[in-house]
Amino acid sequence: MTVLLEGWRALVTGAGGGIGEATARRFCEEGAAVAVTDRDGEAAESAAALLRTAGYRVQAGTLDVTDEAQVEQGLGEAARAFGGLDLVVANAGVLTVSPLADLSLAAFEETLRVNVHGVFLTLKHAAAHLRTAGGGTLLCTTSQAGVHGYSEMSAYCASKFAVVGIVKSLADELAGEGIRVCAVAPGVTDTAMYGELVRARSHLWHVDEAEADERIRRTVPIGRTATPEEVANAFVYLASPLASYVSGIVLVIDAAEQS
C-alpha cells in the first residue's frame, strides 16, 4: 500500500491529546517518523508509547511553545534523532471564553502568548531546520474562530486571526526556499478543548452543560462535532505531495458551521 509521508521526519506540538495526537498518529500511519511534543511531558510520553507499541518510529518531549529555549531544544533533539526535519505542525493552543467586560489584560496576553507567540517561535526555528533539509512543510492549527468572530471570544479570535496572518505572510516569504506554509481551521471538534467551550457557554448562557452542548451542535448543519481524526486527515493532505502546489491557504474543516 502506498503511504503519503514515507521517510518524512515530523514534529507536532500540543500532541499529548486531541487534534495534535491524532495528527501525529496519522503521520505515523503514512510512514513518517514523528516527535510527539507537549507542555505536559507525561501526556506526550503516553501518546508516544501507544505509537511505539504499534511499531512506529517516534520520540516524545516536553515542549512549552512560549519558551524559546525549549522550542529550539525540542526541534534540535528531533532533528538529531531523525537526521533532520521535513514537516512541523504548530498545533499547541489554549481557549479563552469571556465577555469583554470580564476579560483581564493578563488573560488576553496569555492567550496571545500561547496561540500567537508560540506559533511564531515554532515556525521561526522550524524554518531553519527545513532550510537545512532543502525544503519542507510548515503547518498550523488556527480555528473557525480565526475566520469568523464569536461573542465572548475576542481573545481567542484575535489569536487565531493572527495565526492566519502569519501563515499567509510566511507562505510568500518562504516559497523561494521550497517551504510551503498552510493552516487548518477546525470547527467544533470532540476534544478536551470542546469540553472547556461547553462548560464556559453553560456558565455564560445560564443553562446546564447538556443544553449548551446541544446549542453549539445546532450551529453545525451536519449535526455533530468533528472527530480529531477528521481534522488530522486535513493535515495529512496539506503535508503530503498531494498538496505540492498548495501554500498560503487556510483549510476550513467545519461542515459548513454557521457563525
In the residue annotation, 156 being an active-site residue is answered as yes
pLDDT score for 235: 98
Residue-number span of the structural domain to which 155 is assigned: 9-253
Enter the C-alpha cell of residue 71. Answer: 522550542
Asked if the structure places residue 64 within a domain, the reply is yes
CA-to-CA separations, 50 to 5, 25, 88, 125, 203, in angstroms, rounded: 20, 9, 21, 28, 36
pLDDT score for 256: 76
Taking 70 as the pLDDT cut, the residues of the chain under it are: 1, 257-259
pLDDT score for 258: 59
CA-to-CA separations, 252 to 160, 178, 190, 257, in angstroms, rounded: 13, 24, 16, 10
Which CATH number goes with the domain that contains 190?
A: 3.40.50.720
Asked if the structure places residue 159 within a domain, the reply is yes
Asked if the structure places residue 258 within a domain, the reply is no
Total domains present in the chain: 1
CA-to-CA separations, 204 to 90, 95, 193, in angstroms, rounded: 30, 15, 17
Asked if the structure places residue 87 within a domain, the reply is yes
Write down the catalytic residue from 56, 156, 194, 245: 156
Asked if the structure places residue 1 within a domain, the reply is no
Asked if the structure places residue 29 within a domain, the reply is yes
pLDDT score for 1: 62
In whole angstroms, give the CA distance from residue 171 to residue 26. 24
Asked if the structure places residue 186 within a domain, the reply is yes
In whole angstroms, give the CA distance from residue 37 to residue 43. 9
